[in-house]
Chains A and B, each alone.
Chain A
Amino acid sequence: MTTAVIGQPISRVDGRQKVTGRATYAAEFDVPGVAYAAIVRSTVANGRIASIDSVLAERASGVLAVLTHRNAPRLAYRSHKALVDPEFGERLHVLQDDRVSHQGQPIALVIAATLEQAQYAATLVRATYGMEQAVTDIARAEPVRPGHNQTDQGERRPSEGRRGDPEAALAAAEVKVYQSYVIPRENHNPIEMHATIAAWDGDRLTLWDKTQWVHNVADEIAAVFGIPPENVRVISPFVGGAFGSGLRAWPHVTLAALGARVAGRPVKLMLSRREMSTALVTGPTRSSASRSAHRATGA
């Protein structure tokens, strides 16, 4: 079968611009007066921040501000749950309290005149933790039952469906196959790393962001800052790969906007390749089990 579309070679609309270097990605926009942010991340997986010392970082050359949970503005964090967000749990309220829930969680944000100054000053922030036992093995994790099927975009598809009588079929089966499968955690690592530039004008915010869903970013950041979604403009003309990691608005987007508000000037925040492994939680470990009933013939 031949069709007019399927199987025919088609040039990507943005292909030429991407391969000739004329595509402008989020981190590449030239916003006048921009400052740079670097994130300090937790070095433990679970616990509370016992102490955090940012004095050396604040004194380092070029530093405009250092934000921690102790001095960061309290944010509205209105409820916002998009279709792509997990059914269970609540998003990280970044720099709002001393709780550490995962290794690599942002615990401070340094804003400086240059990228190098921000990155260096970030290494000067010292934190100590009250460590608690972390669960790093899915087999030892406490199971939770998804129950929050309502999203801001409507009801989720039901996670359970049923047809026929599986228990009776299994009871009567000549051959039963029980299997379990574990898919390890996957990190999405596209060529373009995530980046955000945030610029405030009064209570209106412009974000140049790597995202596959500009409206979700606007809705999420509006909910976090307690402003109307129409006050948030998100610009994302090109995405340098994302594998779906650009569908959600991650905590670093909030941090860029927070940094820009505190510094009183636009702020650019780029994730490093190393941060791509902890800043996004894209494909968690999955475990599943199956039971199937068969005839002796294999059918």
Chain B
Amino acid sequence: MHPFAVERPRDLDAALALRAQAGRNDTPTEYIAGGTDMVQLLQEHVRRPERLVSLAGLLDNRIELGPLGLRIGAAATMADVAAHPAVVEQFPVISEALLNSASPQVRNQATMGGNLLQRTRCPYFRDIGYSACNKRVPGSGCSAIGGENRWHAVLGTSDNCIAANPSDLAVALVALDAALEVRSAGGQRSLSLIDFHRLPGDTPHIETVLEAGEVIAAITVPANPAARRSHYLKVRGRASFEFAIVSAAVALDMEGARIRQAYIALGGVGTKPWRVPKVEAALAGASLDPAALRQAAALAAEGAQGRGHNNFKIELMQRAIVRAVENAGARA
């Protein structure tokens, strides 16, 4: 590891002030919360901060359900949120996405805020033995395009980066129109999660719209009758401790046997958590008839671009949508 100092500020304001002095991404000063992703990146020399500002004990970790919806403090662990009765009962897609993530040990340690900021699993990003990675070293090229890219994105890619966003949680939250409360030394702002992650474009090293020194303080999920009838389907190479090849988060507002409104997001296929509004529109008023579902799901492939090894994802994600909608629809 690159030698670094750990700061343990007394309160959040002190932490925000420390971090505010630094720049945007991969700068000499970074936050660390649960550390499950950060420590891996430190060990692999991918990130080289000179100073880590610990957020341990400084952020809200409460999980609260009110008339407006769910509010989750950024420091809540993945395990606590996954097991919370209100989440299990009223937002099953969130609980399922979390329980299908990582391992029990990681879920006990990792925070909700950190989950949304975890870096891609692109093996070229995580191995400094490859010189070309625009996300790690801007302008150095992309080893995945033309390389081993079975795990990579087919939606939202650019000629500079095709790395997939690895978070399961973010997919579920994006489907439910979640928002973030963000704090900085300058104050507080709210932003919608769908706008939080950026497309790679020419700047794949800048992954979110967080400004220097900002920290995620809480996640809010608006009350939604569809959330009760929701489901997270994860397709992966092995049944445990593995990232999604393809995943689908679905919530359904049903009127009898018909879908009034569907909320659908995809994981494993996008450079960011990927909402599919055209599929949702095609499903409005539809029944759970397999042919209708299949036809609607095909709209997810619009603009999808395979790079060789990952071509299969374009078909697989459509099937995942169909299966996930069927599963959610079968829920009472």
Say whether B130 contacts A120, CB under 8 Å. Answer: no
Can you spell out 6 A-B residue pairs with CB atoms less than 8 angstroms apart?
Answer: A43-B130, A103-B129, A116-B1, A120-B2, A120-B3, A278-B129
Query: B128 near A: Cβ within 8 Å?
Result: yes
Residues of B within 8 A of A274 (CB): 44, 127, 129
* Secondary structure call for the A interface: loop
A278 to B129, CA, bound (A): 10
Which B46-85 residues have a C-beta within 8 angstroms of A?
A: none
Query: B295 near A: Cβ within 8 Å?
Result: no
Query: A248 near B: Cβ within 8 Å?
Result: no
Query: B240 near A: Cβ within 8 Å?
Result: no
Interface string of A248-267 (1 = CB under 8 A from B): 00000000000000000000
Say whether A43 contacts B45, CB under 8 Å. Answer: no
Q: Which residue of A lies closest to B132 (CB)?
A: A43
Say yes or no: A104-B129 contact (C-beta < 8 A), given A120-B2, A123-B2: yes
Shortest distance from the beta carbon of A131 to any chain B beta carbon, whole Å:
9
Which B103-141 residues have a C-beta within 8 angstroms of A?
A: 127-131
Residues of B within 8 A of A43 (CB): 128-131
Shortest distance from the beta carbon of B28 to any chain A beta carbon, whole Å:
16
Query: A99 near B: Cβ within 8 Å?
Result: no
Residues of B within 8 A of A103 (CB): 129-130
Shortest distance from the beta carbon of A106 to any chain B beta carbon, whole Å:
12
Q: Which residue of A lies closest to B45 (CB)?
A: A123
Q: Which residue of A lies closest to B140 (CB)?
A: A43
Say yes or no: A44-B45 contact (C-beta < 8 A), given A116-B1, A120-B1, A123-B2: no
Range of interface residues on chain A?
Answer: 10 to 19
Query: A81 near B: Cβ within 8 Å?
Result: no
Interface string of A151-178 (1 = CB under 8 A from B): 0000000000000000000000000000
Query: A41 near B: Cβ within 8 Å?
Result: yes
Say whether B129 contacts A123, CB under 8 Å. Answer: no
Task: List the count of A-B residue pairs having beta carbons below 8 Å apart.
Answer: 21
List 3 A-B pairs, minimum CB-CB distance, nearest first: A43-B131, A123-B45, A41-B129
Residues of chain A whose beta carbon lies under 8 Å from any beta carbon of chain B: 41, 43-44, 103-104, 116, 119-120, 123, 274, 278
- In the complex, which of the residues B44, B127, B128, B129 has the most CB atoms of chain A within 10 Å of its own CB atom? B129
Residues of A within 8 A of B129 (CB): 41, 43, 103-104, 274, 278
Given A116-B1, A120-B3, A274-B127, 10 more contacts at CB 8 Å? A43-B128, A43-B129, A43-B130, A43-B131, A44-B131, A103-B130, A119-B1, A120-B2, A123-B45, A123-B128
Shortest distance from the beta carbon of A185 to any chain B beta carbon, whole Å:
12
Range of interface residues on chain B?
Answer: 10 to 19
A116 to B4, CA, bound (A): 13
Shortest distance from the beta carbon of B284 to any chain A beta carbon, whole Å:
46
A278 to B44, CA, bound (A): 16
Residues of B within 8 A of A41 (CB): 129
A119 to B129, CA, bound (A): 13
A201 to B1, CA, bound (A): 33
Residues of B within 8 A of A44 (CB): 131
Q: Which residue of B lies closest to A45 (CB)?
A: B130
Residues of A within 8 A of B3 (CB): 120
A44 to B129, CA, bound (A): 8
A120 to B127, CA, bound (A): 15
A103 to B132, CA, bound (A): 12
Shortest distance from the beta carbon of B50 to any chain A beta carbon, whole Å:
13
Q: Which residue of A lies closest to B128 (CB)?
A: A123
Shortest distance from the beta carbon of B241 to any chain A beta carbon, whole Å:
16
Q: Which residue of B lies closest to A275 (CB)?
A: B129
A119 to B2, CA, bound (A): 9
Residues of B within 8 A of A120 (CB): 1-3
Q: Which residue of B lies closest to A44 (CB)?
A: B131
- In the complex, which of the residues B45, B127, B130, B131 has the most CB atoms of chain A within 10 Å of its own CB atom? B131
Shortest distance from the beta carbon of A59 to any chain B beta carbon, whole Å:
13
Interface string of B1-30 (1 = CB under 8 A from A): 111000000000000000000000000000
A251 to B3, CA, bound (A): 29
A286 to B45, CA, bound (A): 34
Shortest distance from the beta carbon of B300 to any chain A beta carbon, whole Å:
31
A123 to B3, CA, bound (A): 12
Shortest distance from the beta carbon of A237 to any chain B beta carbon, whole Å:
30
Q: Which residue of B lies closest to A116 (CB)?
A: B1
Residues of B within 8 A of A116 (CB): 1
A123 to B127, CA, bound (A): 12
Shortest distance from the beta carbon of A110 to any chain B beta carbon, whole Å:
13
A274 to B128, CA, bound (A): 11
A242 to B138, CA, bound (A): 39
Shortest distance from the beta carbon of A274 to any chain B beta carbon, whole Å:
7
A278 to B127, CA, bound (A): 12
A73 to B68, CA, bound (A): 72
A103 to B45, CA, bound (A): 18
Shortest distance from the beta carbon of B174 to any chain A beta carbon, whole Å:
33
